[in-house]
Amino acid sequence: MTSAKKPHHKMAGQTMSGADMVLQVLVDEGVDTVFGYSGGAILPTYDAVFRWNDNNPENQVKLVVPANEQGAGFMAAGYSRASGRVGVCLVTSGPAATNCVTPVRDCMADSIPLVMVCGQVARAAIGTDAFQEAPVFNIMSACAKHVFLVKNEEELEETVRTAFYIARSGRPGPVVIDFPKDVQNWHGVFKGEGLLPLPGYQQRIEALTGASMPREKARDFFRMLKKSKRPLLYVGGGVILGEASGTLRTFMKRYQIPAVTTLTGIGAVDTTDDLSMHMLGMHGTAYANYAVEDCDFLICAGARFDDRVAGLPHRFAEQATIAQIDIDAAEIGKVKRVDWSHIADVGAALRDLMEYGSELHTDHPRWLKHLADLKKKHPQNFNRDSEIIQPQAALAMLNEITKGEAIITSGVGQHQMFCAQYLDFKAPRTWITSASMGTMGFGLPAAIGAQYAHPDKLVIDVDGDGSIRMNIGEMETCTTYELPVKILLLNNLGDGMVVQWQTLYFNGRFSGTDKSLHRKDFVKAAEADGFEFARRVSKYEDLRKALEEFISFPGPAFLEVMTDKEAFVYPMVGPGQPYKDMLTGPYIASREHGPSEAVLDTSDCF
């Protein structure tokens, strides 16, 4: 990496412990909050945190202790997803480190920058099955972007800086530092600068960040765009991770190209914008999926054609020429063959395209009218006649109150999909969910992390009764730290998404999914954990008032809404099925397959 000469570090030349070195580098990297659980093999570093805060009252490092180390990992992930900064998790060795395998893999799957520092037994004891020893390097190497086992104490501070560099550069991801206890206790001279040599990786990153798009490639893109009558943007989480949402919106407006988004791409496009066609895929809106079927030029920006979007790749966007922009070369053509591609940061690529096509303004009135008609003919809908509260209705009502301005986290399951379908998101980093890994128990600790990232914003965890059980201990974390996190529990007395699949594909054999006999009283649990607002609603007439009071309550609040266990998520594209076989359910209008003659008109739109 080439950069301007940095000023001399004020602590350079001083002797300090390895634990103090790590904490100093964390502070240098801008870390203000650490999530973690202490234990024998990490005690020196926890002591360093205590002493740092004691000696630096104006520059505190907040230490947040969860109920479980998995919670710490998801808090750090929620902090990162909400802020765009690297989240930090600090835990001890053995079971603490293995409890973080799921959050690390979750971050890797969704490309979230995280640094996990875990204690390890002393170097001499590694491999002896010492107390609370686990082979962290071996386990995490399959789950993380990179893993360091600190064997050479002289490279300690460079290792920590390099971990942050790797976590945030290129395609972001989690980096694990396995930190032996004797290295924490070692004393040496702090250098105040330096990274480990990573020549191949650094060259690739410099090539990505330093190069502009060749004019010939930009010309080829605009040739395809000019030829197109029905262009469509397919927007993924890479747009948000690359801080490119503003650039994308400018690109959309300039060339009048509508967009569908993936689950992680929600928020990259203002969902209230006329050009937004909302989420596509397995549980995407019917009109988004119809738009994909009808388009003739699909521009993939920071997305990867995963199985929940392109379940049957060769039948996905069959009529379309396809362009793909991604920072990760491995994603180009991995699932779906593309006709044009560019490996770069998506924001830089879009800016290069707009610079080349600065004089070009496109309009597609017939196509835009067709898409507007799709929205009118195939809107999201649900059972509006039932006296039992429908989860979609509860979220639609919540949306009227929050107006797309809240940060929403979710667990995983039906409630997650209902959030994606019925809530508005006007800004990036306001929708936080476990997408690729689909980890139940994610929502509550992620909300805690997001609240630390944005103390003054409204943060709501929309959860399910199955998902919240996974990390229910973190309810107490909300009250311990007096965090105004709001928990909206949609309770359908079962694992709703699995029940839906069992109904559709397993002839109604509900093996292991019925929670109706469980005796958990979530309201009493919330009260026991110190929630002063803890209520249950089971009737429509009580719902709006309860939601309004829940949102306006100044501290942590818990609201349980009893919902219809027979409310399924529609539309649904079955696994490995093409969009033409999409099930729209009993309340969403479907169409005869294929676009209308009007949209296939080839008259010039330029």
Q: What is the pLDDT of residue 606?
A: 36
CA angle 244, 250, 253 (to 5 degrees): 140
Active-site residue, from 132, 256, 319, 577: 132
Q: What is the pLDDT of residue 604?
A: 43
Q: Is 131 a catalytic residue?
A: yes
Residues 257 and 326 in one domain: yes
187-225 b/e (C-beta count within 10 Å ≥ 16 → b): eeebebeebeebeeeeeebeebeeeebeeebbeebeebb
Residue-wise pLDDT for 209-231, tens only, equals: 878 999 999 999 999 999 999 99
The count of other CB atoms within 10 Å of the CB of residue 311 is 19
Please give the helix or strand (H or E) that residue 15 lies within, else none.
strand 15-17
- Looking at the domain assignment, is residue 501 inside a domain? yes
- Looking at the domain assignment, is residue 304 inside a domain? yes
CB 81 within 8 A of CB 49: no
Q: What is the pLDDT of residue 602?
A: 44
Q: What is the pLDDT of residue 359?
A: 87
Residues 29 and 138 in one domain: yes
Q: What is the pLDDT of residue 599?
A: 53
Listed residue (55, 17, 16, 52) closest to 34, CA to CA = 52
Confidence class of residue 375 from pLDDT cuts 50, 70 and 90? Answer: very high
Supply 595's token pair.
């676009």
CB 340 within 8 A of CB 275: no
Last residue of a domain, one of 187, 208, 229: 208
Q: What is the pLDDT of residue 516?
A: 79
Whole-angstrom distance, CA of residue 579 vs CA of residue 581: 5
Last residue of a domain, one of 208, 231, 263: 208
Whole-angstrom distance, CA of residue 517 vs CA of residue 510: 14
Residues 439 and 512 in one domain: yes
Residues 326 and 402 in one domain: no
Domains: count for the chain: 3
Residues 177 and 67 in one domain: yes
Cβ neighbors of 348 (< 8 A, separation 6 or more) are 209, 212, 213
Please give the helix or strand (H or E) that residue 220 lies within, else none.
helix 215-227
DSSP-assigned letter for residue 406: S
Distance of CA 165 to the CA centre of its chain: 20
Q: Is 497 a catalytic residue?
A: yes
Q: What is the pLDDT of residue 598?
A: 45
Look at residue 9 and tell me whether its pLDDT is greater than 70: yes
Look at residue 593 and tell me whether its pLDDT is greater than 90: no
Residues 22 and 168 in one domain: yes
C-alpha torsion angle, residues 211, 217, 222, 225 (rounded to 10): -100
Q: Classify strands 459-464 and 259-261 as parallel, antiparallel or unpaired.
A: unpaired
Active-site residue, from 1, 50, 62, 131: 131
Alpha-carbon dihedral sign for residues 585, 590, 593, 595:
negative
- Residue 13 — left, alpha, or beta (φ > 0 → left; ψ -120 to 50 → alpha)? left
- Looking at the domain assignment, is residue 40 inside a domain? yes
Look at residue 562 and tell me whether its pLDDT is greater than 80: yes
Q: What is the pLDDT of residue 418?
A: 98
Q: Is 132 a catalytic residue?
A: yes
Q: What is the pLDDT of residue 6?
A: 62
Residue-wise pLDDT for 114-171, tens only, equals: 999 999 999 999 999 999 999 999 999 999 999 999 999 999 999 999 999 999 999 9
Look at residue 605 and tell me whether its pLDDT is greater than 50: no
3-state secondary structure of 478: helix
Active-site residue, from 16, 213, 470, 497: 497
Residues 411 and 298 in one domain: no
Residue with tokens 């359908």, as numbered in its chain? 492
The CATH number of whichever domain residue 20 belongs to comes to 3.40.50.970
Residue-wise pLDDT for 493-540, tens only, equals: 999 999 999 999 999 999 999 877 788 999 999 999 999 999 999 999
**pLDDT, the chain, mean:** 95
Confidence class of residue 603 from pLDDT cuts 50, 70 and 90? Answer: very low
Confidence class of residue 595 from pLDDT cuts 50, 70 and 90? Answer: low
Confidence class of residue 594 from pLDDT cuts 50, 70 and 90? Answer: low
What are the strands, taking DSSP E only, across 275-399? 276-279, 297-301, 321-326, 340-343
Cβ neighbors of 476 (< 8 A, separation 6 or more) are 67, 529, 530
Last residue of a domain, one of 189, 208, 227: 208
Active-site residue, from 21, 24, 35, 69: 69
- Looking at the domain assignment, is residue 67 inside a domain? yes
Q: What is the pLDDT of residue 3?
A: 47
- Looking at the domain assignment, is residue 405 inside a domain? yes
Residues 31 and 139 in one domain: yes
Q: What is the pLDDT of residue 514?
A: 83
Active-site residue, from 181, 229, 375, 486: 181
Q: What is the pLDDT of residue 30?
A: 97
Residue-wise pLDDT for 296-349, tens only, equals: 999 999 999 999 999 899 999 999 999 999 999 999 999 999 999 999 999 999
Q: What is the pLDDT of residue 210?
A: 79
- Looking at the domain assignment, is residue 576 inside a domain? no
Q: Is 392 a catalytic residue?
A: no
Backbone angles phi, psi at 482, to 5 degrees: 50, 45
pTM of the model: 0.96
The CATH number of whichever domain residue 306 belongs to comes to 3.40.50.1220
Look at residue 362 and tell me whether its pLDDT is greater than 90: no
CB 61 within 8 A of CB 47: no
Residues 509 and 526 in one domain: yes
- Looking at the domain assignment, is residue 169 inside a domain? yes
- Contacts from 216-220 at CB under 8 Å and sequence distance 24+? 217/340, 217/342, 218/352, 218/353, 218/356, 218/357, 219/356, 220/340
Residue-wise pLDDT for 412-442, tens only, equals: 999 999 999 999 999 999 999 999 999 999 9
User: 359: domain range?
Assistant: 213-363
Residues 148 and 75 in one domain: yes
Helix %, strand %, coil % of the chain (to 5):
40, 15, 45
Listed residue (116, 174, 165) closest to 144, CA to CA = 174
- Looking at the domain assignment, is residue 382 inside a domain? no
Residues 43 and 166 in one domain: yes
Q: Classify strands 533-537 and 259-261 as parallel, antiparallel or unpaired.
A: unpaired
Residues 200 and 219 in one domain: no
Q: Is 181 a catalytic residue?
A: yes
